[in-house]
Amino acid sequence: MPLKPGHVALGETELLELVRSQPRPQHLAVIMDGNGRWATQRGLPRVAGHSEGVKSARTVVRAVDALGIRYLTLYAFSSENWSRPGEEVSMLMTLLERSIHQELPELMARNIRLQVIGRADGVPHTVKRGIDHVMYETAGNTGMTLFMAFNYGGRDELVDAFRELARQVQAGKLRPDEIDEHLISTSLYTAGAPDPDLLIRTSGEMRISNFLLWQIAYTELWVTPVLWPDFGPHDLYRAIAEYQRRDRRFGGV
Protein backbone atom coordinates (compact mmCIF):
# COMPACT_ATOMS: atom_id res chain seq x y z
CA MET A 1 0.00 0.00 0.00
CA PRO A 2 1.56 3.35 -0.96
CA LEU A 3 2.11 6.07 1.61
CA LYS A 4 -0.83 8.37 2.11
CA PRO A 5 -0.29 11.64 0.24
CA GLY A 6 0.13 13.29 3.64
CA HIS A 7 3.07 11.04 4.43
CA VAL A 8 4.81 11.90 1.17
CA ALA A 9 4.64 15.54 2.18
CA LEU A 10 6.11 14.86 5.62
CA GLY A 11 9.45 16.50 6.35
CA GLU A 12 12.51 14.53 7.38
CA THR A 13 11.98 14.98 11.13
CA GLU A 14 8.33 13.90 11.00
CA LEU A 15 9.17 10.93 8.79
CA LEU A 16 11.92 9.89 11.19
CA GLU A 17 9.47 10.10 14.08
CA LEU A 18 6.99 7.96 12.15
CA VAL A 19 9.67 5.37 11.33
CA ARG A 20 10.85 5.28 14.94
CA SER A 21 7.32 4.71 16.23
CA GLN A 22 7.02 1.30 14.53
CA PRO A 23 9.17 -1.84 14.21
CA ARG A 24 12.05 -1.26 11.81
CA PRO A 25 13.36 -3.89 9.39
CA GLN A 26 16.04 -6.08 10.92
CA HIS A 27 17.93 -6.35 7.66
CA LEU A 28 18.00 -3.75 4.92
CA ALA A 29 19.63 -4.37 1.54
CA VAL A 30 20.44 -1.68 -1.02
CA ILE A 31 21.28 -1.74 -4.73
CA MET A 32 23.09 1.58 -5.08
CA ASP A 33 22.45 2.40 -8.73
CA GLY A 34 22.73 5.52 -10.88
CA ASN A 35 26.18 6.92 -10.08
CA GLY A 36 27.15 6.95 -13.76
CA ARG A 37 23.96 8.72 -14.86
CA TRP A 38 24.30 11.26 -12.06
CA ALA A 39 27.77 12.19 -13.34
CA THR A 40 26.83 12.14 -17.03
CA GLN A 41 23.88 14.47 -16.36
CA ARG A 42 26.39 16.97 -14.97
CA GLY A 43 28.94 16.55 -17.76
CA LEU A 44 31.33 14.82 -15.33
CA PRO A 45 33.26 11.57 -15.77
CA ARG A 46 31.42 8.49 -14.43
CA VAL A 47 33.99 8.07 -11.68
CA ALA A 48 32.87 11.40 -10.19
CA GLY A 49 29.48 9.76 -9.65
CA HIS A 50 31.10 6.90 -7.76
CA SER A 51 32.99 9.32 -5.50
CA GLU A 52 29.73 11.08 -4.74
CA GLY A 53 28.11 7.66 -4.22
CA VAL A 54 30.54 6.91 -1.42
CA LYS A 55 29.20 9.97 0.44
CA SER A 56 25.63 8.64 0.13
CA ALA A 57 26.80 5.26 1.40
CA ARG A 58 28.36 6.91 4.45
CA THR A 59 25.20 8.90 5.17
CA VAL A 60 23.03 5.81 4.82
CA VAL A 61 25.26 3.70 7.08
CA ARG A 62 25.00 6.39 9.79
CA ALA A 63 21.22 6.75 9.43
CA VAL A 64 20.62 2.98 9.41
CA ASP A 65 22.83 2.53 12.45
CA ALA A 66 21.00 5.34 14.27
CA LEU A 67 17.70 3.54 13.61
CA GLY A 68 19.01 0.43 15.37
CA ILE A 69 18.76 -1.75 12.25
CA ARG A 70 20.96 -4.78 12.87
CA TYR A 71 22.05 -5.68 9.31
CA LEU A 72 22.75 -3.57 6.25
CA THR A 73 23.88 -5.04 2.93
CA LEU A 74 25.24 -2.71 0.23
CA TYR A 75 25.87 -3.85 -3.34
CA ALA A 76 29.21 -2.17 -4.10
CA PHE A 77 30.59 -4.21 -7.01
CA SER A 78 28.98 -7.09 -8.83
CA SER A 79 30.73 -10.01 -10.51
CA GLU A 80 29.40 -8.54 -13.79
CA ASN A 81 30.98 -5.10 -13.15
CA TRP A 82 34.37 -6.38 -14.39
CA SER A 83 33.06 -5.79 -17.94
CA ARG A 84 33.21 -2.01 -17.42
CA PRO A 85 36.11 0.00 -18.87
CA GLY A 86 39.39 -0.89 -17.12
CA GLU A 87 39.85 2.61 -15.78
CA GLU A 88 36.44 2.63 -14.10
CA VAL A 89 37.04 -0.83 -12.60
CA SER A 90 40.40 0.11 -11.11
CA MET A 91 38.99 3.38 -9.79
CA LEU A 92 36.14 1.47 -8.10
CA MET A 93 38.68 -0.89 -6.51
CA THR A 94 40.77 2.01 -5.21
CA LEU A 95 37.69 3.85 -4.00
CA LEU A 96 36.43 0.85 -2.06
CA GLU A 97 39.79 0.14 -0.50
CA ARG A 98 40.34 3.79 0.44
CA SER A 99 36.80 4.20 1.77
CA ILE A 100 36.81 1.24 4.10
CA HIS A 101 40.27 2.21 5.35
CA GLN A 102 39.10 5.79 6.03
CA GLU A 103 35.92 4.59 7.70
CA LEU A 104 37.66 2.20 10.09
CA PRO A 105 37.76 4.65 13.05
CA GLU A 106 34.04 5.40 12.65
CA LEU A 107 33.16 1.72 12.26
CA MET A 108 34.98 1.08 15.54
CA ALA A 109 33.35 4.05 17.28
CA ARG A 110 29.92 2.84 16.17
CA ASN A 111 30.72 -0.80 17.04
CA ILE A 112 29.93 -1.86 13.43
CA ARG A 113 31.26 -5.14 12.06
CA LEU A 114 32.22 -5.02 8.38
CA GLN A 115 31.90 -8.22 6.38
CA VAL A 116 32.85 -8.06 2.73
CA ILE A 117 30.94 -10.76 0.85
CA GLY A 118 31.82 -12.05 -2.60
CA ARG A 119 34.61 -13.95 -4.29
CA ALA A 120 38.24 -13.07 -3.71
CA ASP A 121 39.43 -14.14 -7.18
CA GLY A 122 40.34 -11.26 -9.43
CA VAL A 123 40.44 -8.74 -6.60
CA PRO A 124 43.87 -7.03 -6.58
CA HIS A 125 46.11 -8.17 -3.75
CA THR A 126 46.38 -4.75 -2.11
CA VAL A 127 42.60 -4.33 -2.10
CA LYS A 128 42.17 -7.80 -0.62
CA ARG A 129 44.72 -7.02 2.10
CA GLY A 130 42.92 -3.76 2.97
CA ILE A 131 39.56 -5.53 3.16
CA ASP A 132 40.97 -8.33 5.33
CA HIS A 133 42.50 -5.78 7.69
CA VAL A 134 39.22 -3.90 8.27
CA MET A 135 37.27 -7.16 8.62
CA TYR A 136 39.79 -8.40 11.17
CA GLU A 137 39.73 -5.15 13.17
CA THR A 138 35.92 -4.99 13.28
CA ALA A 139 35.31 -8.74 13.74
CA GLY A 140 34.62 -8.38 17.48
CA ASN A 141 32.16 -5.49 17.11
CA THR A 142 28.72 -6.37 18.37
CA GLY A 143 26.54 -3.62 16.89
CA MET A 144 25.30 -3.46 13.32
CA THR A 145 26.72 -5.87 10.73
CA LEU A 146 27.54 -4.14 7.46
CA PHE A 147 27.76 -6.59 4.57
CA MET A 148 29.57 -5.04 1.64
CA ALA A 149 28.86 -7.10 -1.47
CA PHE A 150 32.05 -6.80 -3.50
CA ASN A 151 32.87 -8.96 -6.51
CA TYR A 152 29.56 -10.48 -5.53
CA GLY A 153 27.10 -12.49 -7.61
CA GLY A 154 24.02 -14.20 -6.19
CA ARG A 155 24.50 -17.24 -8.45
CA ASP A 156 28.21 -17.43 -7.52
CA GLU A 157 27.16 -17.43 -3.87
CA LEU A 158 24.78 -20.35 -4.47
CA VAL A 159 27.41 -22.24 -6.49
CA ASP A 160 29.90 -21.79 -3.62
CA ALA A 161 27.36 -22.98 -1.06
CA PHE A 162 26.36 -26.05 -3.10
CA ARG A 163 30.01 -26.95 -3.74
CA GLU A 164 30.71 -26.81 -0.01
CA LEU A 165 27.71 -29.02 0.76
CA ALA A 166 28.72 -31.46 -2.00
CA ARG A 167 32.20 -31.68 -0.45
CA GLN A 168 30.65 -32.53 2.90
CA VAL A 169 28.49 -35.24 1.28
CA GLN A 170 31.54 -36.62 -0.53
CA ALA A 171 33.47 -36.71 2.75
CA GLY A 172 30.64 -38.71 4.33
CA LYS A 173 29.85 -35.89 6.83
CA LEU A 174 26.42 -35.13 5.40
CA ARG A 175 23.59 -37.13 3.89
CA PRO A 176 21.84 -35.57 0.82
CA ASP A 177 18.46 -35.67 2.55
CA GLU A 178 19.88 -33.61 5.43
CA ILE A 179 20.20 -30.69 3.00
CA ASP A 180 17.31 -28.35 3.70
CA GLU A 181 16.55 -24.62 3.45
CA HIS A 182 18.15 -23.91 6.81
CA LEU A 183 21.40 -25.65 5.86
CA ILE A 184 21.56 -23.81 2.54
CA SER A 185 20.93 -20.47 4.30
CA THR A 186 23.73 -21.15 6.74
CA SER A 187 26.08 -22.06 3.88
CA LEU A 188 25.71 -18.63 2.23
CA TYR A 189 28.03 -15.64 2.66
CA THR A 190 25.34 -14.06 4.87
CA ALA A 191 25.18 -17.06 7.25
CA GLY A 192 23.76 -16.08 10.62
CA ALA A 193 21.91 -13.00 9.36
CA PRO A 194 18.15 -12.94 8.89
CA ASP A 195 16.94 -12.53 5.30
CA PRO A 196 16.51 -8.89 4.22
CA ASP A 197 13.09 -7.48 5.11
CA LEU A 198 13.40 -4.63 2.66
CA LEU A 199 15.40 -4.15 -0.55
CA ILE A 200 15.86 -0.62 -1.85
CA ARG A 201 16.97 0.01 -5.42
CA THR A 202 17.79 3.50 -6.65
CA SER A 203 17.65 4.97 -10.18
CA GLY A 204 14.36 3.34 -11.16
CA GLU A 205 15.51 0.02 -12.62
CA MET A 206 13.06 -2.80 -11.91
CA ARG A 207 15.55 -5.64 -11.63
CA ILE A 208 17.33 -7.75 -9.04
CA SER A 209 20.67 -7.90 -10.89
CA ASN A 210 21.90 -11.14 -9.33
CA PHE A 211 21.69 -9.76 -5.77
CA LEU A 212 20.99 -12.02 -2.77
CA LEU A 213 18.92 -14.39 -4.91
CA TRP A 214 18.20 -16.93 -2.18
CA GLN A 215 17.77 -14.43 0.65
CA ILE A 216 15.18 -12.15 -0.98
CA ALA A 217 12.48 -14.81 -1.46
CA TYR A 218 10.04 -12.82 0.76
CA THR A 219 11.75 -9.44 0.84
CA GLU A 220 9.70 -6.29 0.24
CA LEU A 221 10.98 -4.29 -2.72
CA TRP A 222 11.10 -0.50 -2.95
CA VAL A 223 12.39 1.21 -6.08
CA THR A 224 12.96 4.94 -6.30
CA PRO A 225 13.89 7.01 -9.37
CA VAL A 226 16.36 8.96 -7.20
CA LEU A 227 19.96 8.37 -8.36
CA TRP A 228 22.26 6.99 -5.66
CA PRO A 229 24.40 10.13 -5.19
CA ASP A 230 21.17 12.06 -4.49
CA PHE A 231 19.81 9.45 -2.07
CA GLY A 232 19.69 10.71 1.51
CA PRO A 233 18.03 10.12 4.90
CA HIS A 234 14.69 11.49 3.69
CA ASP A 235 14.52 8.83 0.93
CA LEU A 236 15.61 6.15 3.39
CA TYR A 237 12.89 7.09 5.89
CA ARG A 238 10.27 7.15 3.12
CA ALA A 239 11.25 3.64 2.05
CA ILE A 240 11.06 2.33 5.60
CA ALA A 241 7.79 4.12 6.35
CA GLU A 242 6.25 2.53 3.27
CA TYR A 243 7.64 -0.88 4.25
CA GLN A 244 6.07 -0.45 7.69
CA ARG A 245 2.65 -0.01 6.08
CA ARG A 246 2.90 -3.18 4.03
CA ASP A 247 1.11 -6.36 4.97
CA ARG A 248 3.70 -9.14 4.82
CA ARG A 249 2.01 -12.49 4.37
CA PHE A 250 4.96 -14.77 3.48
CA GLY A 251 2.70 -16.72 1.13
CA GLY A 252 -0.13 -16.97 3.67
CA VAL A 253 -3.44 -15.09 3.66
Cα–Cα distance measured from residue 10 to residue 181, given in angstroms and rounded to the nearest whole number: 41
Name which position in 15, 19, 25, 36 contacts ligand FPP (CB under 6 A).
36
Q: Which stretch binds ligand FPP (CB under 6 A): 91-99, 115-123, 218-226, 233-241?
A: 91-99
Is residue 153 within the footprint of ligand FPP (CB under 6 A)?
no
Query: Is 111 part of the annotated catalytic residue set?
Result: no
Q: Which stretch binds ligand FPP (CB under 6 A): 32-40, 113-121, 126-134, 216-224?
A: 32-40
Is residue 34 within the footprint of ligand FPP (CB under 6 A)?
yes
Pick 135 or 179: Cβ nearer ligand FPP: 135
Out of 35, 65, 81, 156, the active site residue is 81
Is residue 234 within the footprint of ligand FPP (CB under 6 A)?
no
Query: Is 33 part of the annotated catalytic residue set?
Result: yes
Cα–Cα distance measured from residue 24 to residue 135, given in angstroms and rounded to the nearest whole number: 26
Is residue 37 within the footprint of ligand FPP (CB under 6 A)?
yes
- Angle of helix 233-245 relative to helix 46-66, nearest 10 degrees, comes to 60
**Smallest separation, CB 208 to ligand FPP (Å):** 14
Is residue 16 within the footprint of ligand FPP (CB under 6 A)?
no
Q: Which stretch binds ligand FPP (CB under 6 A): 76-84, 168-176, 213-221, 230-238?
A: 76-84
Which helix (H) or strand (E) segment is 199 a member of? strand 198-201
Is residue 54 within the footprint of ligand FPP (CB under 6 A)?
yes
* Contact predicate 72/64, CB 8 Å: yes
DSSP 51-120: HHHHHHHHHHHHHHHHTT-SEEEEEEEETTGGGS-HHHHHHHHHHHHHHHHHHHHHHHHTTPEEEEES--
* Contact predicate 227/35, CB 8 Å: yes
Task: Collapse the DSSP code of 185 into the 3-class scheme (helix H, G, I; strand E, B; otherwise coil) and give the result.
Answer: helix
Q: Is the dihedral of CA 35, 37, 40, 46 positive or negative?
A: positive
Name which position in 50, 113, 201, 238 contacts ligand FPP (CB under 6 A).
50
92 to 111: interface string for ligand FPP, x by CB under 6 A: x--xx--x------------
* Contact predicate 208/231, CB 8 Å: no
The site for ligand FPP (CB under 6 A) is made up of: 32-37, 50, 53-54, 57, 74, 76-77, 81, 92, 95-96, 99, 203
